[in-house]
Amino acid sequence: MKSFNVVAAQGEITMRRISDGTKAIGKPLTLEGGHFIIGHSETGHHHVLEHSRGVEVTILERPPVGMRILHAVLTEANTLVHKRGHDTHEAIRLEPGTYDIRIAREFDHYEELARKSAD
């Protein structure tokens, strides 16, 4: 399991620790299957927070085209895990604090269109 101080990445997800105790901004993210899904996968192999206690996650309602921006406030340690049994991204330990989480986007030069990166 990886740990970090300021910035970490897991696939198309980049997390940056921004402070301790700051209120999350945006619309509350709802649990899906008992987890906060941070990064959706087209194949169902989502990137999720291991548990939902001590967590507040919000999603920015109008991010730049093709992006997904989340804020997470953790009052206790948690882990970002990739729900896939093979060829998985290493889990990342998240200490209590406030995090800015961004899902990468890609640009299709043929379609001239920005969209969320596919996993």
Instruction: Give one DSSP letter per residue of 70-109, joined into a string.
Output: EEEEESS-EEEEE--SSSPPPPEEE-SEEEEEEE-EEEET
pLDDT at site 67: 82
pLDDT at site 10: 87
Q: Please say whether the dihedral angle defined by the alpha carbons of residues 31, 35, 38 and 43, taken in this order, is positive or negative.
A: negative
pLDDT at site 1: 84
Which has the closest alpha carbon to 2: 79, 74, 75, 70?
A: 79
pLDDT at site 24: 63
Cβ within 8 Å of residue 32, ≥6 positions away: none
Predicted TM-score (pTM) of this structure: 0.80
CA distance 98 to 6: 11
pLDDT at site 50: 93
Low-confidence ranges of the chain (pLDDT < 70): 20-24, 43-44, 85-87, 106-119
